[in-house]
Every structure is written in C-alpha cells, then in structure tokens.
A and B are shown apart, each in its own frame.
Chain A
Amino acid sequence: MITIKDVEHVALLARLELSDEEKQMYTKQLNAILEYAQMLNELNTDDIPPTAHVLPLKNVWREDEVGEHLPPEEVLANAPEREGQFFKVPRIV
C-alpha cells in the first residue's frame, strides 16, 4: 500500500509540488494502478532476461569530429531568463 507519505517522498524525487487534494488523488490512483500491476507476479521470471530495447544494437559510435552545431543565439532564444551567453536561474547557494 502506498501512503500519503510515500506520495510526498516520490513527489519530492520528481520535483513536483502537490496540493493536499492532489496527494489524496494520486495516493488512491497509484494504489489502484500498482495493485493492477501485481498481476505480473503470477509469472515466474527468474530465468527471463529483461528487454530494455528491442533492436539488436549495441553501442553506436561515430567519429570524434566536430560537426555542425546550433548557433548560441538561437539556442538561448527560448531561455526564460538569460545573461549574456548564459541561462540565468535563481540563486543556488
């Protein structure tokens, strides 16, 4: 069972600020979904390898060469706040 405390912990990990109403709702809904997911425990998967990815691709390398890159001005154009060539954020320490 997931408690409101678990929901608060996960919300912090996910950097989400939830209202009391949201905490209640997600506690209820996550419990329902995870209870449904218990169905997977009907299956013995001890000797089954996991599939993270379906393609038989391993590391995909390229030559270590400088390619085309986006001009800094175009990249910074979407910044909510900037200073010179930097993204600006509220104080950290």
Chain B
Amino acid sequence: MELYYLTAHELHDLLVKKEISAEEICRAVFDRIDAVEDKIKAYVTLTRDRAFARAREIDRKIAAGEEVPPLAGIPVAIKDNMCTRGVRTTCSSKILYNFVPPYNATVVEKLEAAGTVMVGKTNMDEFAMGSSTENSGFFVTANPWDLERVPGGSSGGSAAAVAAGEAITALGSDTGGSIRQPAAFCGVVGLKPTYGAVSRYGLVAFASSLDQIGPFTRDVTDCALMLNAICGHDPLDSTSAPRDIPDFTSCLRDDVKGLKIGVPREYMGEGIDPAVKEIIGQAIELLASLGAEIEETTLPHSRYALPTYYLIAPAEASSNLARYDGVRYGYRAEDARDVVDMFMKTRSQGFGPEVKRRIMLGTYALSAGYYDAYYLKALKVRTLIKQDFDRAFEKFDVLLAPTAPSPAFKRGEKTGDPLQMYMSDICTLAVNLAGIPGISIPAGFVDGLPVGLQLIGRPFGEGTLLRVAYTFEQHTDYHRRRPSL
C-alpha cells in the first residue's frame, strides 16, 4: 500500500528499521495532498515548510541513534479550532479569518512533544456548529468515498483528510458527535474521550460543558497511541480531570469473553436506516460469537437528548461567542457610528447563519423569563439522561449502537431544515450530555458508503472501548479499505 495510506504504527516500524525516513513520509502525504486536495478540500491552511523542517528534525534524531516515540514523524492534521502558535486558527469563520494565536493549545504542545508533524489545519462547520461541514464560512469539504456527499461534521476536514490519505491521523473536537459522526461517514476510527480526559486549553470554546478533543485514526492501535499522547491533567484547564492515565496500548487485546455489552433499543428503532441496523446486527453477532454477552437494554430518556442538547449547547455557545466583538482579534466591521454599532456590525458580518441561529436560540433560552422554562429544564433533563447511562453501566461494561442513523448524506440534502440536520446526531448527543466516552469504528458498507459502529463506555472507560474495538477489528477488514480517488 502507498505510504500515505499506512497506519502510524506501520510507519513507525518502517522508520525505526530505517526503511523509510520521516521526510519521505512527509513527502508522500504532501504529494497526495497535491493530487487530491482540489477534490476533497479538507484543509483551511497547510503548513508545508514547517512540516518538512520538522520531519528532517526527526530524521536527524533517528540518525543520531536516539529512540523516538511511537508517533515521531507521523503527519497529523489539526481541526482549525485548536490554537497553533504562529499558524492561523480560523474555526472556519470569517470572524477569525486572520487570527494567529500567540500560543499553542495543550494538545498541540503534547503532539509536538510526541514528535508528530503537523500537516495543516482542517476545515469544519463554523465554530463546530454543524453535522456536515457545509456550515464552513469558507468552502465545503467532500467525502472521499463519494465526492457528492458530505464528510459529516463538524470535524469533517479532519475525518476526510485521514480517509483520503492527506494525513495519517488527525485531531477533532466533539460536542454532540463531531468526531464520531464524521469518522463513521468517512470510514475511519474516531474517539470522543470522557469529559475532562483531554485538556481543552487552547480549544476555541463552543459549549464548554460538552466539548472534548479526540483523535481520528485508521485503526484502533493508532487511536490508543494518539490517546497516550493527548490525555492527561492540565493545570491550564480547570475542568481537566486530575487522574493518572494508563498506557492505552495495553488495552489492545483480542478478547471480549465475558464482557457484558448492552444494546439500547432506543438506538435501534425508528429513524435508523434499516441497512445501518443490519450492519449493526452483524457486528452484534460477531462480538457474541467471540464470547461477549450481549443483551438488549434501555435508555428511556433517549428521545429527550436532542431537545436537551439544542438548548444547552446554544446557551453555552451564546455566552462563549460573546467575545467576538472586533476589539482584540479577528474581523472588525468598518464605518461604525460608535462602539455598540461596531460590535453589532462586526458580529453580523462575521458570523454565518447557523452560528447566528444558535446564538439567537441560546440567548433566548437564557433570557429573563425563559431561563427556567428552557435552560434550567434542559439541565434537569440532562440529569435524567445521565442517570439512564449510570443505571445501564451498573449491568453492562459497554453499550453498542450505530454512530449515525444513516451513511453520509448528499450535499445540500439537509441544509434547508435545521431540525433535519440536528437529527443526524441523534445517536451521539446523549454521550456528550453524560460526559462519557464513545468510539466509532468502521463496521461495514452500504452501497459503497462506510457505516460506523459506536461503542459507549463508563466514565474513563476508554480502555474497555479500545479492547472491544480492537477485537472487532481483528476479525473484520473494513478498516483496511481505502476510497479510490
């Protein structure tokens, strides 16, 4: 297989055997970008020169006999809502079109320490608000499996880059499904860690109680390696969990014997494409044949997750996005009469329609007279949703569900109706509300389009998710397929 289509651990093996250099890997990826980026449009910014300089630095270390970490020399793509010192960070929004952060997000620092080579910053739904990357303020990203279809979102650029061979791994962020859903649509592995497992310092905030950064990879082993690199307590994020992190590669065992897996019936019912259900059914059979104890279960408040989410996330967003006022950074409107006029013009011209919609919705839900009826009500239902999961995890080690109700949909198919678009996250939202981890892995294809299997774990149960996902991967080959571009 071409270098740009290998996994990080395969490339690492070739690197340490000195069969290839980091510079060659870097060249393979940028040659691939030159060949396919016109069609995919995964990147907002490419950092070619930096990447080659960095790759050569890794090669010098290897040549000097230094032992390099497992991700050294691996080209990674970073979603454009994570601050990168000296490299434009736009959130795919006109309001941040020229913002160059003076510091790195903690995850960016950690990936640098792990020796990775940043390829560039990926396209996304503006401020991560969306499920198809069609809300980018700049351009639309295509799904590498079918260019007429969306890559999912909001981390669509990162997912498409990994699927198309324009990066080996990537980072995304997930507030309601924004890593898992595009991973499913693009046929790659995507994991949303437990809330607090990965530092949010330097992640441009959307909904602070829901946002988590996580990896996109081609297989579960790479996912474990990325988690090893990015997890851990950070004094710069007050919501970062003060916990020791395990070596996640130790969880990569081909063994699910005796593990109790619950299948919530609410995730296999109405609204789920029958072809997706069939693939999930096959996954259940496979895991059962390997010794997992699988039973149907219930998360009775599931149907309330979508309205709960679409009150809480916009409320938090309306507050977080108050900072874009044209004073300290980003776009500023010209010809303002006074300072309030400048705020209003800047924000009206700088934000796109979905961002405005959510600011409006959130401001309304938090405004005098409506706070109790909408925002507080949603926080209380959030408790019920979390309690559903707590109860399920008294009995089960892992829950299993589709990642998305359908495979990737066509561009423009859902842009006219916000509620229809929000529905594409029905399988993932509740996991963010409960703050627990979820992974999407390739589980099959419908008419040439990838379908994702979602595994949901206890708080800080990433290890168990990796174990089940790894086992599934050892007995299937969906993760080895690559789109023909």
Contact = CB atoms under 8 A, between A and B. Distances in A.
Nearest to B384: A48
6 contacts: A34-B361, A54-B195, A70-B103, A77-B102, A79-B327, A87-B327
B383 A89 contact: no
A48 B380 contact: yes
- A interface SS class: loop
Interface of A: 2, 6-7, 10-11, 13-18, 22, 26, 29-30, 32-34, 36-37, 39-41, 43, 45, 48-55, 57, 60, 62, 70-71, 74-75, 77-81, 87, 89-92
B339 A91 contact: yes
Contacts of B418: 29, 32-33
Contacts of B327: 79-80, 87, 89
Contact of B347 (A10, A16, A34, A75): A16
Contact of A10 (B301, B322, B364): B364
Given A40-B304, A90-B339, A50 B359 contact: no
B268 to A, nearest CB: 21
Contacts of B195: 54-55
Given A26-B360, A36-B307, A50 B379 contact: yes
Contacts of B367: 10, 13
A39 B382 contact: no
Contacts of A70: 102-103
B382 A50 contact: yes
A60 to B, nearest CB: 4
A55 B318 contact: no
Interface stretch (B118-126, B223-231, B275-283, B329-337): B329-337
Q: Which 4 A-B pairs have the closest CB atoms?
A: A54-B435, A50-B379, A78-B329, A80-B332
B383 A50 contact: yes
Interface string B286-319: 0000000000000001011011101100000010
Given A36-B419, A40-B308, A81 B332 contact: yes
Contact of A16 (B339, B359, B376): B359
B308 A89 contact: no
B374 A37 contact: yes
Interface stretch (B233-241, B258-266, B439-447, B474-482): B233-241
A79 B364 contact: no
Contacts, number: 160
A51 B363 contact: no
Interface of B: 98-100, 102-103, 195-196, 209, 235, 238-239, 241, 301, 303-304, 306-308, 310-311, 318, 322, 325-332, 336-345, 347-348, 351, 353, 356-357, 359-361, 363-364, 367, 374, 376-384, 386, 418-419, 434-435, 459
- B interface SS class: helix
A36 B420 CA distance: 12
A88 B40 CA distance: 40
Contacts of B359: 14, 16
Contact of B209 (A10, A17, A53, A74): A53
A86 to B, nearest CB: 11
A8 B77 CA distance: 41
A54 B434 contact: yes
Given A51-B379, A51-B382, A87-B328, A60 B238 contact: yes
Given A7-B360, A14-B318, A16-B348, 9 more contacts: A14-B363, A15-B340, A17-B345, A26-B360, A30-B360, A45-B381, A70-B102, A79-B328, A90-B336
Contacts of A49: 380, 383
A90 B341 CA distance: 9
A7 B418 CA distance: 17
A66 B421 CA distance: 47
Contacts of B304: 39-40, 43
A30 B364 contact: yes
B344 to A, nearest CB: 4
A16 B356 contact: yes
A40 B329 CA distance: 39
Contacts of A7: 360
Given A13-B367, A14-B360, A78 B99 contact: yes
Contacts of B339: 89-92
A55 B241 contact: yes
Nearest to B306: A36
Nearest to B102: A74
Given A45-B377, A54-B386, A74-B102, A2 B344 contact: no
Contacts of A29: 357, 418
